[in-house]
Structure 1
Amino acid sequence: MKSKSLEILELKAYGKINLFLDVVGRRVDGYHFIRSKMQDIEIYDEIIFKRGIKSSNNHCNFFDIELEFCMKNSTIPCDDDNLAIKGAKKVLEKISLKGVELPKDVLGSAINIEINKKIPISAGLAGGSADAGVCMLGINELLGNPLSLEELMSAGIEVGSDVPFSIMMNFEANKDRLTMTGEASKAGIISGVGEIVSPINTEKYELILINPGISVSTRRIYDEVDKRFSFKKEDYDSEKTSADIFLAQKNNKYNIMQALTLDLYDEAKEIYDYMKRNLNADMVMMSGSGPTMVAYYSDKEIADKDFIKAKIEASGHEGWKVFRTVSGR
């Protein structure tokens, strides 16, 4: 493998929304089979990778490469529960297992990773998965791309269920800064437990997102799914594609978790009710397990006017955060 001269790499870790989300089965080990349509949003964390000299702040060491993390504007600790650190460790683990000989100039070096958080935490926007996926992309790039896009995505499912899609979507979004190649899109159909990702064409939307400033436990929501829905099969055929093709062709939007989160979190219901009553959106739907609510618009002017209205409303509610963004551009 040829030596890489790249020493600094700046990437954006974009969040996602769910245009469709259903739980269609449950494995005997407790993991859930899903079918989902996911797409990017123009809200992102900033991640800067720097190759340099080792220090004493050691989190992980493979190939004598030290990883150093810094989280800015975030309360997320730099420990082994941090998805970004999990992703970084995982990509180095897979490179090691592949037996790749790395360039001599990277052996004995450190990779400093600085993450500037902007995506709300535990909000249904896959901010943690975005950071994990982009850390995997960035380290792979700095080390000369020993893993392919497909190999990165395959490794990503061992980090989190949203990570394979986040890798593909963020690869597409950062293609001007990455030298790796592969088939990708900012939108995809996801099935299995998140490991099966098929790129599809994006749908263009103007968006307003409102987050109540609280975190939602995804595990708690899935526990509620298990209580309220019964799955006839414990072993579901996740390779079936008929429903995936249907989702790719139809403009149906649905989130099985929305009613559950609204029942369990009054803060989420308050925002949803406000948006349904007061915004002139084409539709309002929760992303992921929530609590972020998304208003969809085909008309930019209407979205801009509603954004002003929502910002005024948010000023009277502690914790409310309002975002004006787009998807599918």
Structure 2
Amino acid sequence: MPVLEIKARAKLNLTLDVLGRRPDGFHDLRMVMQSVELCDTIRLETGTGRPLRMTSNLGFLPCNEKNLAAAAALRLMEAVGADCGGLAIDLKKRVPVCAGMAGGSADAAAVLRGLNALLGLGLSRERLEEIGAQVGSDVPYCVRGGTVLAEGRGERLTDLPCLPECHAVLCKPGFSISTPELFGRIDAVRLRCRPDTAGLLSALRAGDLSGVARRMYNVFENVLPPRRGAEVTAIKRVLIQHGALGASMSGTGPTVFGLFDSREAAQRAYAELRENHRESFLTEIAGPEQL
């Protein structure tokens, strides 16, 4: 029975701007996205002769079509009329759940890329992204990976020059944040601080890591509940004190990350944060995904 193991890399938001609410109830976004080497691992096995079966190392995750990885497999089969002859998905989670790093979307994208290769479907990246958009707004980006400008709901993607090589320290504090609640808060205020996305794009084109890091910003930091906002600020302070070139929150949070040009400085920041925050990680920047 054919088997393939594939990585599902997490993403970070170098910038995140909410431009407004759309008539369909979603929001128009403008974000610079970056993938990192921190990843889940997915094992795909076709030809099992049984209906879709999914397992995970986290007992609280759904293992049916409510899981984006399983949903992506079903949507791909439906879209192309393919038959796996039975499929088993085994998911090893390492990316924190509900953390603003698109862990579930990355799993879905990895399943799409993996089945495309395993079954020899020959689908283009663009076709996989179209199918992914039917599963979740971040899935098209996760199919592509690398350094990308994402607009609309996140499905309109423009490749950008690669972020210069650097190290990233990620820290998820011990709480979750309601995404619908934060979007509701965004709708109720007039944002006064927005990311300098144009300046960050110019810095990327110039290969200026410091210029990119200085311009990282996420508008959801404006509307965090006070206590949660204080915790995010405290983590950012640790990162900056240890030499991060810049620090920001990813997605709707609560994960905070910093970019470093020195691995030694990144290791010191990671070591301090790990003392109080179990879900802290030291990782590297990743390039575009390969089909």
Please tell me the TM-score bracket, short chain as reference: 0.7 to 0.9
Counterpart of 1:15 in structure 2 is 10
Post-superposition Cα deviations, 1:140-186, rounded to whole Å, max 9, x if no partner, equal 222212522111101211111111000111xxxxxxxxxxxxxxxx1
Unaligned 5+ segments in structure 1 are 1-5, 56-65, 97-101, 170-185, 231-242
Displacement of 1:91 in angstroms is 1.1
**Structure number, greater radius of gyration:** 1
Aligned equivalent of 1:199? 159
Distance 1:244 1:89 in 2: 36
Give identity over the alignment, percent: 31
Structure 2 counterpart of 1:217, from 178, 185, 195: 178
Q: Give the 3 Å change call, closer, same or farther, for CA 153–67 of structure 1 in structure 2.
A: same
Once the two structures are TM-superposed, the CA of residue 294 in structure 1 deviates from its matched residue by 0.6
Instruction: Tell me the residue number matched to 1:166.
Output: 142
Q: What code does the residue aligned with 2:201 have?
A: A
- State the partner residue of 1:51: 46
SS in 2 for 1:78: coil
Q: Aligned pair 1:285/2:261, yes or no? A: no
The TM-score normalised by the length of structure 1 is 0.76
TM-score by length of 2: 0.85
Residue deviations 1:62-83 (CA, integer Å, cap 9, x gap): xxxx322111235211133211
Name the CA distance, whole Å, in 2 between partners of 1:258 and 1:126.
18
**Letter paired with 1:285:** S
Aligned to 2:149: 189
How far residue 124 of structure 1 moved from its aligned partner, in angstroms, is 0.5
Instruction: List per-residue Cα deviations over 1:60-117 (Å, max 9, x = no partner).
Output: xxxxxx3221112352111332111221121112113xxxxx5xxx66x111110101
Change (3 A) 1:146 1:282: closer
Q: What is the rounded CA distance, in whole Å, between the counterparts of 1:137 and 1:229 in structure 2?
A: 40
Match for residue 325 of structure 1 among 276, 280, 283: 283
Counterpart secondary structure, 2:38: strand
- Call closer, same or farther: CA 1:244–1:92 in 2, change over 3 Å: farther
How many corresponding residue pairs? 270
C-alpha distance in structure 2 between counterparts of 1:246 and 1:78, whole Å:
43
Q: Is the 8 A contact 2:31 2:150 kept in 1?
A: yes
Q: Trace 1:1-329 onto structure 2 (pairs within 5 A).
A: 7-55=2-50, 66-96=51-81, 109-169=85-145, 186-203=146-163, 204-229=165-190, 247-250=200-203, 251=212, 252-261=215-224, 263=225, 266-267=227-228, 269-277=230-238, 278-312=241-275, 314=276, 320-328=278-286
Matched position secondary structure for 2:111: helix
Q: Which runs of 4+ in 1 moved over 6 A?
A: none
Partners of 1:71 and 1:256 in 2: how far apart? 33
Q: Which runs of 5+ in 2 are unaligned?
A: 204-211
The one-letter code matched in structure 2 to 1:49 is: L
User: C-alpha distance in 2, partners of 1:78/1:307?
Assistant: 32
Q: For 1:20-66, what per-residue CA distance to the aligned partner results, in whole angstroms no more than 9, with x for missing partners?
A: 110112210111111111011111000001123323xxxxxxxxxx3
Q: Structure 1's 226 and 85: CA in aligned 2 closer, same or farther, altered over 3 A?
A: same
